[in-house]
Structure 1
Amino acid sequence: MVYVTLYSCSIKVIKSPLIFIKMSSTYKILVVDDEQIIRKSLSGLLEYTGYEVVTAGSGTECLHIMSSQYFDLVILDIVMPDMSGIEVLQRIKKKYKGTEVITVTGYADKEKAITTFRLGAYDFIEKPFESVEMLNTIANCLNQLKLKREIERKNRELRESEERYRLLAENVADVIWTIDIKSVRTTYVSSSVTGLRGCSVEEVMAQTLEETLTPSSLDLAMKTLEEEMAIEYVEQKDPFRTRTLELESKCKDGSTVWTEAKMTFLRGADGMPIEILGVSRASPSANRWSRHCAD
């Protein structure tokens, strides 16, 4: 338990004991205020809480420091003598898109505070403020920043994965495809389908399963799907199981080709199947151009 007292006309004196959890933090915060007592008091509080803190006494000094150091968060006073906080905020948001800003303003400057919010500030705090209010706002801001960065990282990894998948799919002879389970429509097919069936990717994407498979193969495929979906309700199921079928596919020139299709489920966040992922190739046990389609 620690007693925190911040002496300033802008920061309320905390008379009651506050319990702060002192923790290791990788976040770096820049405190910008032309009043030295606020800079000293606020930086001391944040450092005690576990943040790495740097201070600046003006907007010009703030931008100079930011040109050589990275900050996760800037706590920015709106009213300063050399440069307004609004102008500083605009420059930060233009040049340092990964940095969040919390503005600090007096009650009379509430209109300016609302303006900073519209310009991209995470939040604004009115003077005088209590340390608990400031710490809670900072914690919420940095938690949201962490989540935002995690989403950006996941999206970046997904894009990289999709690009690797696309390059792989476009450079193998096997046909890679996915089918949405609800609509039973093709959602992806690799360009190698042209060599197997003579159809373009666009043509295959527009086809129904009835237009893709002969009637007997369509019946087999749908029956297999029903069996696999029934297994989903069995406790001891293998979520990574695969099925291999020999299916007769229709070609663009009216002939058919026997293919060996190996399939598995792609699953959603709840673990239930949402798509079928398949890899097809000309069947080694049947004549590729077996017959002209009479079905």
Structure 2
Amino acid sequence: MKLRIQNLTKTYKNGVKAIDNLSIEIGTGMFGLLGPNGAGKSSLMRTIATLQSPDSGSIHFGDINVLEDPMSLRKLLGYLPQSFGVYPKMSAEDLLDYFATLKGVSLKSDRVKLVKEVLEITNLYEVRKKHVAGYSGGMKQRFGIAQLLLNNPKLIIVDEPTAGLDPAERHRFLNVLREVGTNCTVIFSTHIVEDVKELCNEMAILNGGKILKHTTPQDAAKEIEGSIWTRSIDRDDLEAMEKQYNVLSSNYNQDNSLNIRVYAEQQPSEDFVLAKPQLDDVYFIALKQDEFVAVS
């Protein structure tokens, strides 16, 4: 089933245009929605999840007209927001059993089987008796995936799920998400480029409520081959370099000098060395070009 969004617009009462005439088509698999904080990612996620209405435009998932028939989508939807509520002092097993009851699984034997299955998928079975309130951040995120899997969703939306997780928790969470995303449409919203690179077979870069680029992580990097250059500089020279070249990013070397990455069709000077393009480069190029258009 494909998600088709056409000419979607949403402006809040304070005048902020969070979604700006956005159109995109998303198929089965892991789809990464990449953008900085305030780009409109959460607004788009909430609108797709039928938690808010747009000012104009349309959303279809398969044969479902989402804006006209939100209940039909909700039956197929699993949604993990950026932050979710305070948990009662209940074990993961009992809380999932309760959620399964709310989702219409009436037979106790069916609930037991289903709860065991989602706990195993999310690697929480060994801690099923522990109160969810006492879980770590990563475990709570995996519990969030467990609860949304109870209704066998065809569309899964996860909004900034790895924010605040330590590297080990992030890795475990991404592995779980990768496993559940093989047979349905998963929209994965993040500002962390590495998450999209590791996880997604398709991606879009969003800023100012607009899609700046819709591609795959592999194709995105190929498009800028031969255009990324690098060199080491003294950190005091960074400002001058930024005025002279299209500097995408910089990072410190061990000797406190800076390594800069520059986007240019030809070698900027003989001091620069051709570098292998990365998804971060694609991301920064898109944002810089958008910023240039906005001020021109």
- Shorter chain as denominator, the TM-score bin is under 0.3
TM-score between both structures, scaled by the size of structure 2: 0.27
Structure with greater Cα Rg: 1
Flag the structure with more relative contact order, 1 or 2, with Cα contacts below 8 A and sequence separation at least 6: 2
TM-score between both structures, scaled by the size of structure 1: 0.27
